[in-house]
Amino acid sequence: MPTAQSIGGIMESNNINHEIVRVEHVRKVYQDNGVPVNALRGINLTVSSGDFSVIAGPSGSGKTTLLNIIGTLDKPTEGKIFLDGEDVESKTRRQLADIRLRKIGFVFQAYNLNPVLSALENVEFTMMLRGIDSGERKRRALALLHELGIAELAHKRPNEMSGGQQQRVAVTRAISNDPRLVLADEPTANLDSETAIKLLELMEKLNRDDGITFVFSSHDPQVIERAHRLLILKDGQIVTDKRNS
């Protein structure tokens, strides 16, 4: 069922059946001290609009590698990646950076906020990269922080916030440019269980109310049990792909 999301005045229509990501026969081999390592062995998957998917698996199963490839941070050794129907293989680095800016939001395990910028400035940063003028991006950033319940952190720097607060700001930054997709790599790994649950509830709310598509990599049971769709990787292959009812 299509839903409309509106953040800061931009309207985005999400058709639940719209394919955002398509991964075709992706293999990734990298060299580890001269020894080839098969990180991914023939991955095929699609991610649809509105999905709340978790890629789980033991360490070394290829979760982060797959997320990096979907997010155009890395290139596959073989296979193709389609984002919003576009084959990213032929894109230049500049075009890929533009795709990441406009279509993908990232949430990292280590938050990765800019330590010299306040929460507000961190959220404004990606909007600044898009060329949105100062007054408008400040307005949108404040609205987002308010929506996520962390408006009081607007003028605080990361070293003045807890881990959970920093991750919330990171989530705010990730959605500030109305991305098609948010990729979260072990977002709860550095958080205590209570804080992790609150973060997950926030992301579920964004997924439910605003139709934002999330793809996580995680081995946290709290994350896995909330997944609408669970993909389990083992030794670079998808061994399980099921949707929770």
Partner 1 sequence: MIGVVTMVLTDSLSVGMIRQMLTNQIGADAGYIQIHKKGYQENPTLKNSIPDPGEVRAVLEKDARSCNISERLRTFGLVSSANNSSGVAIVGVTPQSEKRVTTICKYIVNGAYLSGNTDEAIISTSTADKLKVGIGDKVVIMASRLDGSVGSEACRVVGIFETFDSGFDQSHVYIPLQTAQQMVGAQGRISEFVINPADAKRTDPIADKIRSDLPGEFEVLTFKQMLPLLVMQMQLYNETIYIFYAIIAIALIFGIVNTMLMAVMERTHEFGVDMAIGMSNKRIFIMVLVEALYLGVVGTTIGFLVSFAIYVPLSYSGWNLAMFSESLKWLGVGTIIYPTLTVSSLTNAIMVIPTATVIGAIYPALRAVKLQPYEAIRAT
Residues numbered 119 to 138 that lie near partner 1 (CB under 8 A) are 125-126, 129-130
**Which of the ranges 1-9, 92-100, 161-169, 188-196 carries the binding residues for partner 1, by CB under 8 A?**
92-100
Is residue 59 part of the contact set for partner 1 (CB under 8 A)? no
Among 3, 5, 48, 112, binds partner 1 (CB under 8 A): 112
Binding partner 1 (rule: CB under 8 A), the pick from 6, 13, 15, 114 is 114
C-beta atoms surrounding 167 within 10 Å: 28
User: Residues 6 or more apart from 33 whose CB is under 8 A from it?
Assistant: none
Classify burial at 242, counting beta carbons within 10 Å of its beta carbon; exposed 0-12, middle 13-18, buried 19 or more.
exposed
Taking the C-alpha atoms of residue 178 and residue 117, their distance in angstroms, rounded to an integer, is 21
How many residues of this chain interact with partner 1, rule: CB under 8 A? Answer: 23
Residue for token pair 């997924």: 207
- Binding residue (CB under 8 A) for partner 1 from 12, 19, 24, 98: 98
| Residue 82 binding partner 1, by CB under 8 A | no
- According to CB under 8 A, which one of 4, 10, 16, 97 is a site residue for partner 1? 97
Q: Whole-number minimum distance, CB 171 to partner 1, in Å?
A: 13
Q: If binding is defined by CB under 8 A, does position 74 make contact with partner 1?
A: yes
Q: Distance between CA atoms of 95 and 93, rounded to whole angstroms? A: 5
Burial of 224 (0-12, 13-18, 19+ CB in 10 A): middle
Per DSSP, what are the bridge partners of residue 5? Answer: 12
For partner 1, the binding residue among 177, 207, 213, 217 (CB under 8 A) is: 177
3-state helix, strand, coil in the chain (%, to 5): 35, 30, 35
Residues at the contact surface with partner 1, assessed by CB under 8 A: 68, 71, 73-74, 93-94, 97-98, 100-102, 104-106, 108, 112, 114, 125-126, 129-130, 173, 177
